[in-house]
Amino acid sequence: MTEPQGHADAQAPEIVDSHTHLDFPDFEGELDAVIARARSAGVTRMVTICTRLRNEPRVRAIAERYEEVFYAAGTHPMSAADEPMATLDDLTALARHPKCVGIGETGLDYHYTKDSAARQQESLRIHIEAARQTGMPLIIHARAADDDMARILSEEHRAGAYDCVMHCFSSGAALAEAALDLGFYLSASGIAAFPKSHDLRAIFAAAPVERVLLETDAPYLAPPPHRGQRNEPAYTAHTARALAPVWNMDYAEFARVTSANFDRLFTRAARQGKAA
């Protein structure tokens, strides 16, 4: 059953949180309030991400409950060694649900889990093929693996085009350039709003604003003035306000452009319309 929709404050431009984790224990028992605060902040749509396929039913149920919440499903690279290998059939079957709008998150993480690099790479290639076959965007997590990530994304794109967003982008300029050259998108999290993230903001400044998305990655990485606290979708607005000047935009225009970017990439969510 879909919850009744709330309404964004009249003064709050509509904006999208393209990556959050509403199924995490941090939000247990509080989802109604979290969603209400997001609506009040102008966050009209959210994509909640399944990081282990065995948790997909719980993530899907959240998307079914709230009209403005969509979801994506995949195996996080840090879980690749501990979870059964996702199959192409697994991913394409899940993608048939009308509220499923993306494949992932998947990717490579060598910071904590480099010992499972080969398995991560195998999982990543399966997720890429699922993105190709379903026409849904791939959602990439990349950390301390820039060279392998750029290589695999490029190899696979030559084998057959697919769409992709580099979620919570905080890697180097070379990986950003490689992703943009493939037609992919970069997503900015609260990290980009941290006062000392000058180099990261410079990387975003070099990207066309039409290839930029916004996210929270909640419950992690809350932007100022909530840094160090639990993050939540409403805080997308803080990241957007911090980043709009990078492109010499005001907040309302930046919110409009990044929301249009979301629609262009997450076409299933766009077809289902915005929450009122």
User: Closest Cα partner for 14 from 266, 257, 264, 224?
Assistant: 257
Q: Is residue 9 domain-resident?
A: no
Half-sphere exposure of 98 (CA within 13 A, CB side): 6
The 10s digit of each residue's pLDDT in 54-87 is 999 999 999 999 999 999 999 999 999 999 999 9
Distance of CA 250 to the CA centre of its chain: 23
| Predicted pLDDT at 11 | 73
> Is residue 99 a part of any domain in this protein?
yes
223 lies in some domain: yes
Q: Domain range spanning residue 234?
A: 15-271
CATH number at residue 56: 3.20.20.140
- In sequence order, what E strands does 86-156 have? 100-109, 138-143
Does the residue 260 lie in any domain? yes
Task: Flag whether 239 is in a domain.
Answer: yes
Tens of pLDDT, residue by residue over 170-214, are 999 999 999 999 999 999 999 999 999 999 999 999 999 999 999
Instruction: Assess contact for 204 and 170: CB atoms under 8 A.
Output: no
Q: Is 76 helix (H, G, I), strand (E, B) or coil?
A: coil
Any domain includes 10 = no
Query: From CA 105, how far away is CA 158, in angstroms rounded?
Result: 21
Q: Which of 120, 187, 179 is nearest to 153 (CA)?
A: 179
- Our count of domains for the chain comes to 1
- The verdict on residue 158 lying in a domain is yes
| Residue 160 neighbours by CB under 8 Å, 6+ apart | 132
How many whole angstroms separate alpha carbon 144 and alpha carbon 142?
Answer: 7
Q: What is the pLDDT along the chain (276 residues), one digit of tens a residue?
A: 334 344 445 578 999 999 999 999 999 999 999 999 999 999 999 999 999 999 999 999 999 999 999 999 999 999 999 999 999 999 999 999 999 999 999 999 999 999 999 999 999 999 999 999 999 999 999 999 999 999 999 999 999 999 999 999 999 999 999 999 999 999 999 999 999 999 999 999 999 999 999 999 999 999 999 999 999 999 999 999 999 999 999 999 999 999 999 999 999 999 986 544
Quote the CA–CA distance of 258 and 212 in Å, as a whole number.
6
The whole-number pLDDT of residue 273 equals: 66
Cβ within 8 Å of residue 260, ≥6 positions away: 210
